[in-house]
Amino acid sequence: DTGVSQNPRHKITKRGQNVTFRCDPISEHNRLYWYRQTLGQGPEFLTYFQNEAQLEKSRLLSDRFSAERPKGSFSTLEIQRTEQGDSAMYLCASRGQGGTGELFFGEGSRLTVL
Amino acid sequence: AQKITQTQPGMFVQEKEAVTLDCTYDTSDQSYGLFWYKQPSSGEMIFLIYQGSYDEQNATEGRYSLNFQKARKSANLVISASQLGDSAMYFCAMREGGRNSGYSTLTFGKGTMLLVSP
């Protein structure tokens, strides 16, 4: 399968713990995005990478959130000191050069903070 | 102001009937793109159809068509001959700027839940 892959698919954690999600984009895609989706809402933009450079961060990305894409391939999203309000689906998407600007999404990582 | 507005929280349609899902958008850019995605219960966002702001003809992809009315800033999705497998959340999204703009993230609406009954 050459689509966008996300791990883990589900994570249950206690408040205050740290969690890390991984995203493997489509191999030839140089642009990678993280979105957050809460119940009943559309995806909300968190951050954007072009190759290894993090070019944009949303105001939703508090200091407890950090994202990396060290070699311009896979990316990680870490949430420190989780809060119940962090419970959401975290979606990763990628796209290449040109085209329509369509984003290719992974299946998401669902976080539940108890 | 919201950039993408989907006013229908839920829609019901009978199998084989056509259904229109509404989407209005707000942008001051001349160049932009409009997208529709489907999200079944499994969670994955599936791209359906794209319309560029300079495209003169409405986009079509199989049973999906996009009714683009630029002056009204609307981009409604029409699904013809609904199937049971069409039951899902549908999201309208917009990319501001040209398709090669460096940033080009998508802004999504809140979605419409479509239920197709036999």
pLDDT tens per residue, range A86-107? 999 999 999 987 777 889 999 9
Beta bridge partners of A113: A13
With contacts defined as CB-CB under 8 Å, which chain A residues touch B104? Answer: 31, 95, 101
Looking only at the bridges linking them, the beta strands covering A88-95 and B19-21 are unpaired
As a residue count, chain B comes to 118
Strand, coil or helix: B86: helix
Neighbours of A79 (CB within 10 A): 24
Residue B22: what pLDDT?
A: 98
Residue A33: what pLDDT?
A: 95
CA dihedral A32, A13, A110, B115 (to 10 degrees): -160
Q: Closest chain A residue to B44 measured between Cα atoms?
A: A107
* Per-residue DSSP letter, B110: -
Residue B102: what pLDDT?
A: 56
Residues 6+ apart with CB under 8 A from A62: none
Residue A102: what pLDDT?
A: 87
Mean pLDDT of the residues in chain A: 93
Residue A97: what pLDDT?
A: 78
B21 touches chain A (CB under 8 A): no
Between A22 and A56, the more confident residue is: A22
In the predicted model, residues of chain B with pLDDT beneath 70 are 1, 98-104
Q: List residues in chain A touching B: CB distance below 8 A.
A: 31, 33, 40-45, 48, 50, 55-56, 89, 91, 93, 95, 97-108, 110
A84 CB burial (10 A radius; 0-12, 13-18, 19+): exposed
Q: Are A86 and B85 spatial neighbours (Cβ–Cβ below 8 Å)? A: no
**How many helices (H) does chain A have, and how many strands (E)?**
0, 11
B107 touches chain A (CB under 8 A): yes
Residues B47, B31: Cα–Cα separation, whole Å: 20
Q: Which of A48, A100, A88 is nearest to B37 (CA)?
A: A100
Return the structure tokens found at B36: 């529709």
Helices of type H across chain B: none
Residue B8: what pLDDT?
A: 96
The closest CB to that of B44, out of A56, A98, A107, belongs to A107
Q: Quick check: A99 and B109 CB within 8 A?
A: no
Beta bridge partners of A108: none
With contacts defined as CB-CB under 8 Å, which chain A residues touch B91? Answer: 42-43
Mean pLDDT for the stretch of residues A82-88: 96
Q: Quick check: B110 and A93 CB within 8 A?
A: no
Residues B99, A97: Cα–Cα separation, whole Å: 9
Q: Which of A73, A66, A72 is nearest to A53 (CA)?
A: A72
Residues 6+ apart with CB under 8 A from B68: B34, B51, B55, B58, B59, B74, B75
The closest CB to that of A101, out of B99, B110, B111, belongs to B99
User: Residue A67 above 60 pLDDT?
Assistant: yes
Give me the phi and psi of B32, to 5 degrees please.
-160, 170
User: Residue A44 above 70 pLDDT?
Assistant: yes
Q: Which of A2, A5, A37 is nearest to A21 (CA)?
A: A5
